[in-house]
Chain A
């Protein structure tokens, strides 16, 4: 039986490995050539409010925030991954307002970014029958918000 402290360290370590593997499998676009300053401004002007509205008063500090990004391209890569690729327990983030705005911003400011093709008609219908926000989805959005904050802190002025 492993001691609890070791179990804790291993759980953190394995989480990071898992995330990195996902990124390695799915990532095809290099975000190095994006206009980070314009993306940061768009985040502060429109994306941040949409994320906040989604969380509906729930703070990110209520979740375990363990997803780190080193530099602006790394942050955008992980934002893209979590926003547009469904995970177990949360499959509908791509249709949310913050995701639509993220898609538009990255398409505009990252040369060659193909973006996610979201059917706007379906998206509107879905919004009328919006599913109850699950705790798992809030946790995902919490990670997103922390990544966006990190991105905004380190992108050049």
Chain B
């Protein structure tokens, strides 16, 4: 970005230009105009100015087009006064323009519009996975000497990794296709071809990929931990916002990932403990227990209820270690620590998980 500070000398046909850093010639050192130019993808050129001495004045913008002088047709207005002009960019060309206040020309300049290029953001990223590498592609812009930057990170990374290429065809190695990754892309210009005053494009939308597939919101529900889905793409400071913005069903799914069938994980376990299973067959109804525990404020401890081997998948619920019963509340004997199981069952603790066996 370049803000060109100008000073001028009357008569207005003679002028000097002073940079922020180096003053070449100045007859009136007090800057009066700050002009900024942005070339949006060689489609639209925006010239804005902030007059200091002439605040409250409608400056007129005149530019050359096809060797003819034309006034601005599309002014940008700020506080009821002209503050900029939007022009159509036809090609890689020089723009000569002037800013005037009635009869006086305050500023004249000729510039290559390429010097202020801001490329458009990449769209429609495509992904091609091959073992531990992924190639990201998108449509190249119709002009050259650009740098396409792809950034990626897994849900466990805090910093983005970056890879660049001269075309929108960039391969990144050393990735784990089983992990969920976030990708984004943008376009920059080569300084030797455009100068140092250009702007990078905006970042593309973030895309989530796992096992070569677009994941979307499912990228967050990793089995590595319930908090990962909340930390996936938000910063810590937005954690609360993220939690309150998620629908209840999503939050429920986020904090309580599904538990795989233990029978499949530990082959033979149920067969070896057949007698134990028989003893636990007479249990109170699951639905009743669920209804009770769902009234509780969820805490970090999971209460996993095992069903009979040939019955449904295990149901995961959350709840306090055990909510005090009405009687306990009245007598003040509620014990927040000890797990008071429902009638007829016993408690098994498995590495921090309290298994209330009904």
A102 to B243, CA, bound (A): 62
From B100-108, B127-135, B168-176, the one touching the partner chain is B100-108
Distance of A117 Cα from B194 Cα, bound (Å): 31
8 Å CB contact of A66 from B21, B110, B143, B145: B110
From A8, A61, A66, B195 is in contact (CB under 8 Å) with A61
Chain A: residues with Cβ within 8 Å of the partner, total of 33
Known: A61-B197, A62-B4, A66-B110. A153 touches B62 (CB 8 A): no
Whether B98 sits at the interface, judged by CB under 8 Å, is yes
User: A9 — which chain B residues lie within 8 A by C-beta?
Assistant: 64, 68-69
Question: Inside 8 A of A85's CB, which chain B residues have their CB?
Answer: none
Q: Is A116 an interface residue (CB 8 A)?
A: no
Any chain A CB within 8 A of the CB of B115? yes
Contacts of B193 in A (CB 8 A): 149, 152-153
- With beta carbons under 8 angstroms apart, the residue of A6, A61, A152 that contacts B111 is A61
What range describes how many residues of B lie at the interface?
Answer: 35 or more
Give the CA-CA distance A146 to B94 in the complex, in Å.
10
Given contacts A58-B22, A149-B112, 4 further A-B contacts (CB under 8 A): A5-B105, A8-B105, A58-B19, A150-B112
30 A-B contact pairs sorted by A residue (CB < 8 Å): A4-B100, A4-B103, A5-B62, A5-B98, A5-B100, A5-B105, A6-B69, A8-B62, A8-B69, A8-B98, A9-B68, A13-B67, A44-B190, A44-B192, A58-B22, A59-B2, A61-B111, A61-B115, A61-B195, A62-B19, A64-B108, A65-B110, A65-B112, A66-B94, A68-B94, A149-B193, A150-B112, A152-B145, A154-B92, A154-B144
Using a CB–CB cutoff of 8 Å, the interface residues on chain A facing chain B are 3-9, 11-13, 43-44, 48, 57-66, 68, 135, 145-146, 149-150, 152-154, 157
